[in-house]
Amino acid sequence: MPLIHILALLQGAATVSTTPAIRINQLGYLPDAPKVAVFCSVAPIDIGNFNVTDAAGKKVLQSTAAMAKSFGPCVANYRLDFSSIRKPGEYRITAGGVASPIVRIRANAYSGAADTLLYYMREQRSGFNPLFKTVVHTHDGIVVDDSARGGKFVPVTGGWADASDYLQYVMTSTNATFVMLMAYRDHPGSFADRFDSRGLPERNGEPDILDEARHGLEWLARMFPSDSEMYNQLGDDRDHTYWDIPPNDSADYGWGKGKERPVYPCTGKPQGLFKYKNRSNGLASTAGKYASTFALAATVYRKRDPAFAAKLHQKALSAYAIGKKFPGVCQGAPGRAPYYYEEDNWVDDMELAAAELYALTRDRIYLRDALEYASREPVTPWMGADTAKHYQWYPWHNNGHYEIWRNANLADRKIVSEYYRKGLAAVVSRADNGFRIGIPFIWCSNNLMASFATQAYLYRRMTGDNQFREYEQAALDWLFGTNPWGVSMVIGLPHDGVFARDPHSVVAKEMHVELTGALLDGPVYSSIYKNLLGISLHEPDEYASFNTGFIVYHDDVGDYSTNEPIMDGTANLSYLLAAIGNPR
């Protein structure tokens, strides 16, 4: 038995218990931020007060534990508010006979955190991959599902594997690239230069976030080579037949093991080569994402690389025109299984595209378009809902409202700020539990959590209104450990914290790589977990005592629903971590 298995079994045996726990944000708290730990007990218990001691063991606060509504496994749920402590240092909280892990209060608690995410992005690279130190997926790819062009080879090596499989989507890769560019534009001071453009550990004079964004842009430019060719997806779920690392990927799409992968264009019609079809009915969801990403990149690279910027500027205009001409969605293409990205909204994507084109060109037609699209979907529809289809409303928050706001007059600024407020209020109306969490626990719940926090942050910056501050912090805290399991949902953040040791990843499993910086999918409704195909735990569940409620999380390689790292979710978190990692 490999060492990793023995360790996991020992950990599992040692930690299953019904002892209450105090859950905290393990990465730490900014001195002026709201600071609330959550006491969780799977059995009823009355705890009264809680105490906070400093590093010397001196009591610095005694206060009343605020009883809250039960949540998931936490039958007894208390909020322990220690916001009054602002002095940087290390503390410990005790309540109900148990102690918290070390609580950190630091002005630089998030410094470098956004850069840490990039370790995972580099590991996910197709084309030259710095982990394997070789070029992976060199034969991409052959056009399928297109009567005019089927069978044609198009050179589209590059980009990122979407998750622990090796499929690649324009839908998620554009959003990942966009958010990284936006994070750099707004918070350049949060990013360092330690790696080169190939992702190798040598500085190259460029911030690493731009090295990563450019890796995405180069691939996206190949996936949209001309006005008549807009590609959307590389590979399909036949990828899942083998459990190989990328350099030895055996996937066989009919051209031999490890050979060409299929490239799906946007056709405006339902797609799927086998039994299952998606509901594609247009091009605008993909065209809008290309346009917004290329337009923002053209702005960012205007001085750094004028030729590259000019090329992307032109592609942004072309993609936007295609989106106007072919409204509707271009969804992920299913293969053998019924799971695919079922994006149903496209006006959000065209809004963001129009907002970026206005920023780039100052042509007021784009601003008018942006506001019109925004009015058609003011609130991202999962906000306030119990459930949604897989990636039905994507991106999970609409950066378009903020991008309009940056360049709009006072009246229009009020309109788009109000759109954000409505979405936040809808989530908050469901958040009357001890964790102050109001998102639906569908697949990839961590992405919803990160997006809720990001939207709340943007709203606060846009308006100065702090009414959602507590909930913004609660979502951030959740991602770094203030959740029923006490697990940071980002691998290796912080490195001395509790995080996934057994993610659903062949690279992690076979190569004993930590996958530092990866954001996991996150907890799901137990009803979803029970109904997924081919899912089972490979080892005893070390979090079994906290998996008794309506949501579950498993640190197990077998759980592809809660413990799989995800590329676009990781990139999506970069904005928020950059923003709070470099407080102004």
CB closer to Ca ion, 143 vs 566: 566
- For residue 455, which amino acid is it? Q
CA 390 to chain centre: 14
CB closer to Ca ion, 8 vs 295: 295
Please report how close the Cβ of residue 396 comes to Ca ion at its closest, in angstroms: 10
Tell me: does residue 208 bind Ca ion (CB under 5 A): yes
Helix (H) or strand (E) holding 527: helix 526-531
Near Ca ion in 177-196, by CB under 5 A:
193, 195
Give yes or no for a contact between 93 and 25, defined as CB atoms under 8 angstroms apart: no
Tell me: does residue 349 bind Ca ion (CB under 5 A): yes
CB closer to Ca ion, 57 vs 205: 205
- Segment near Ca ion (CB under 5 A); pick from 116-124, 136-144, 200-208, 263-271: 200-208
Helix%, strand%, coil% for the chain, nearest 5: 40, 15, 50
Number of residues that bind Ca ion (CB under 5 A): 10
Please report how close the Cβ of residue 382 comes to Ca ion at its closest, in angstroms: 11
CB closer to Ca ion, 81 vs 206: 206
Tell me: does residue 348 bind Ca ion (CB under 5 A): yes
Please report how close the Cβ of residue 430 comes to Ca ion at its closest, in angstroms: 22
Please report how close the Cβ of residue 209 comes to Ca ion at its closest, in angstroms: 9
For residue 168 the two structure tokens come to 């690649």
Distances (CA, A) of 20 to 14, 17, 97, 386: 15, 9, 9, 28
CB closer to Ca ion, 249 vs 348: 348
CB closer to Ca ion, 392 vs 526: 392
CB closer to Ca ion, 195 vs 264: 195
Near Ca ion in 382-441, by CB under 5 A:
394
Cα–Cα dist 234/169, whole Å: 6
SS (H, E, C) 47-69: CCEEEEEECCCCEEEEEECEEEE
The DSSP symbol for 492 reads T
- Strands 524-525, 551-552: pairing is antiparallel
Phi and psi at residue 427, to the nearest 5°: -70, -45
CB closer to Ca ion, 397 vs 509: 397
Please, how many CA atoms are within 13 Å of residue 62, restricted to the half-sphere of its CB? 5
Tell me: does residue 115 bind Ca ion (CB under 5 A): no
Tell me: does residue 344 bind Ca ion (CB under 5 A): no
Please report how close the Cβ of residue 187 comes to Ca ion at its closest, in angstroms: 16
CA 232 to chain centre: 20
Helix (H) or strand (E) holding 186: helix 170-186
Please report how close the Cβ of residue 64 comes to Ca ion at its closest, in angstroms: 45
- Exactly one of 345, 445, 483, 574 binds Ca ion (CB under 5 A); that residue is 345
CB closer to Ca ion, 172 vs 271: 172
Please report how close the Cβ of residue 224 comes to Ca ion at its closest, in angstroms: 17
Please report how close the Cβ of residue 475 comes to Ca ion at its closest, in angstroms: 21
CB closer to Ca ion, 82 vs 420: 420
Tell me: does residue 564 bind Ca ion (CB under 5 A): no
DSSP E strand boundaries for 293-447: none
- Segment near Ca ion (CB under 5 A); pick from 9-17, 208-216, 226-234, 453-461: 208-216
Tell me: does residue 211 bind Ca ion (CB under 5 A): yes
Please report how close the Cβ of residue 345 comes to Ca ion at its closest, in angstroms: 4
Closest CA to 160 of 152, 146, 172: 172
Tell me: does residue 281 bind Ca ion (CB under 5 A): no
Please report how close the Cβ of residue 302 comes to Ca ion at its closest, in angstroms: 19
CB closer to Ca ion, 331 vs 562: 331
Please, how many CA atoms are within 13 Å of residue 450, restricted to the half-sphere of its CB? 31
- Segment near Ca ion (CB under 5 A); pick from 202-210, 248-256, 400-408, 501-509: 202-210
Tell me: does residue 280 bind Ca ion (CB under 5 A): no
Cβ-based neighbours of 362, under 8 Å, separated by 6 or more: none
CB closer to Ca ion, 215 vs 315: 215
Tell me: does residue 123 bind Ca ion (CB under 5 A): no
- Exactly one of 81, 90, 186, 206 binds Ca ion (CB under 5 A); that residue is 206
SS (H, E, C) 109-122: CCCCHHHHHHHHHH
Tell me: does residue 204 bind Ca ion (CB under 5 A): yes
Q: What long-range pairs does 256-261 form, CB within 8 A, spacing at least 24?
A: 258/139, 259/139, 260/139, 260/140, 260/141, 260/142, 260/153, 261/137, 261/139, 261/140, 261/141, 261/142, 261/234, 261/235
Tell me the Ramachandran region of residue 151: left when phi exceeds 0, alpha when psi lies from -120 to 50, beta otherwise: left
What are the residues binding Ca ion (CB under 5 A)?
193, 195, 204, 206, 208, 211, 345, 348-349, 394
